[in-house]
Amino acid sequence: MNTRRNMLVFFGTAAFLGGLGGAWALYRTYFADGSFDWERLSHMMPAGGRALILSLVGSASTGMGPLGMDGEIASGDRIRVEPGGVLTLTLPDRTLLEIRGEAEVDLHVDEFSGGMYNLWLGSLLSVVPTGNQYIATGPTASVGIKGTVFFRQVFDARTRTGRTMEGSMDIPEGINDYFCTCHGEVGYLPTTGEPRQVVRRDRAQHHNAYFLRRDGTLHFTKAPMLNHFDDEIDRLIDLQEGEKHDKSWLEL
């Protein structure tokens, strides 16, 4: 009964506020509950925001053509980063996103705060200011981000090794999705199913990583800190304008 009442409030107030912007704002407000119909809510794509390019190593493009320094990327664009490339973006709410190629990412961002990333291939490292909320979607799960530093990588058939603090390691057979809560709090949701509820909550002070696999349900296999390191996070946080994300947890 409470859930039904909350849903009526959600959609009624969203209509009053006027379309997608209001719906997304309320969606972010209710995100932490984890009990809503995620299938329906996830279609309320944030829109209107633009990502600014901070740096580009190698080549990257969208459907509009090649990207260059000081350019912009509109919400809804698919970003492609060529092998060996690194594209660093800042979003309207000071969220930072580093995409490492070969990579493909769909980016949907709100005009003021919040958004969704859909990672098809490659890896991304992101610093989200405290209190801001995103959804990071991959092949096995959607992850609700709440003011978090996180890393995600989607592997293909050619990418079956990774770097750890101890050296190289093989990616387990049948695994193509990896997620690390580097610092902060997240909620894991399946990519399919009705309703989409949080199936696992995770809070990390210093890196909590899993290989993700879906076989009817979502499976978690503990993983090491893979293909991302504290010094890289430190450099990314330094690019953040204004108040910077806490770095006291980093082991430099």
In a domain, 124, yes or no: yes
CB 125 within 8 A of CB 231: no
Span 73-129, pLDDT tens digits: 999 999 999 999 999 999 999 999 999 999 999 999 988 888 889 999 999 999 999
In a domain, 204, yes or no: yes
pLDDT exceeds cutoff 90 at 227: yes
In a domain, 145, yes or no: yes
CB 34 within 8 A of CB 187: yes
Instruction: For residue 185, give its domain range.
Output: 48-238
Q: For residue 146, what pLDDT is reported?
A: 83
Mean pLDDT of the chain: 82
- Kindly state the tokens that stand for 181: 């809560």
Work out the pLDDT band at 47, boundaries 50, 70, 90. Answer: confident
Number of domains in the chain: 1
In a domain, 43, yes or no: no
Q: Which of 234, 200, 206 is nearest to 218 (CA)?
A: 200
Q: For residue 54, what pLDDT is reported?
A: 95
Specify the CATH number for the domain of residue 147: 2.60.120.1440
Q: For residue 176, what pLDDT is reported?
A: 93
Q: For residue 247, what pLDDT is reported?
A: 94
Cβ-based neighbours of 219, under 8 Å, separated by 6 or more? 212, 213
Q: Which of 100, 80, 89, 99 is nearest to 49 (CA)?
A: 89
Span 50-70, pLDDT tens digits: 999 999 999 999 988 999 888
In a domain, 125, yes or no: yes
Work out the pLDDT band at 216, boundaries 50, 70, 90. Answer: confident
